Amino acid sequence: MNFLNLALCGALSGCANGLFGAGGGLVAVMMLKRFLDTKAAHATSLILTMPMSIISSIFYSVKGNIDFKTALLLIPFGLVGATLGTKLLLKISSKILKKLFLVQYTL
């Protein structure tokens, strides 16, 4: 993967993440799958979206756009879901993962 592809992937993912609220992972997976195997693309997108989500959250927080009460109620359930999703990713085949991603992307 050359620098231009990396820059484009990062910029488009960051823009989608800020605009859609963590939608940058979808963009990153689609772009990274051209250069990495399916599971590596999904895992790499997670580490990519973490700092983007932090920056976006800071900007939204400064503008008063975050409902922290709701967020704090959702976080524990999100962590459980992330744990289950990670364990599932490690067990399923890349073929099934591609199908699940397509279904999730179309929703």
Span 78-92, pLDDT tens digits: 999 999 999 998 899
In this predicted structure, the answer to whether residue 58 has a pLDDT above a threshold of 90 is yes
- Angle of helix 68-91 relative to helix 38-62, nearest 10 degrees, comes to 170
Rounded Cα gap, residues 11 and 37, in angstroms: 21
Do the Cβ atoms of 57 and 73 come closer than 8 Å? no
Most confident of 7-21, 22-36, 61-75, 93-107: 61-75
In this predicted structure, the answer to whether residue 101 has a pLDDT above a threshold of 90 is no
- Report the pLDDT value the prediction gives residue 25, as an integer from 0 to 100: 86
In this predicted structure, the answer to whether residue 1 has a pLDDT above a threshold of 90 is no
- Report the pLDDT value the prediction gives residue 21, as an integer from 0 to 100: 75
Question: SS3 string of 47-65?
Answer: HHHHHHHHHHHHHHHHCCC
For residue 34, what are the contacts with CB-CB under 8 A and spacing of at least 6? Answer: 5
Q: What is the mean pLDDT of the chain?
A: 90
What is the Cα 59 distance to its own chain's centre? 18
